[in-house]
Amino acid sequence: MYLIFRCDCGRAVYAKEGVKQKKCVCGKNLKVKERRILAKTEDSQEASEKVQELQEEKYGGAYFTTANKL
């Protein structure tokens, strides 16, 4: 089971259930049990997709491309 929550910086993050701390890409260490859980998923692939949805919801749609196409 994976838990999805937000960092104080606003970024959505996921962690495996039972993990005490997770480090956000902003550098902050988050205590998982102190966070409000936004969603739960069964596997890491689903968790990753849910985090992407939450990020797009907050910051708008994103697209991925290679550097040579910019």
**Distance in angstroms (rounded) separating the CA atoms of residues 1 and 14:** 10
Q: Tokens 């697209």 identify what position?
A: 63
Q: Cα separation of 25 and 6, whole Å?
A: 12
Q: For residue 60, what pLDDT is reported?
A: 76
| Burial of residue 48 (number of CB atoms within 10 Å: 0-12, 13-18, 19+) | middle
CATH 3.90.820.10 correct for 2-69: yes
Tens of pLDDT, residue by residue over 11-59, are 999 999 999 999 999 999 999 999 999 999 999 999 999 999 898 888 7
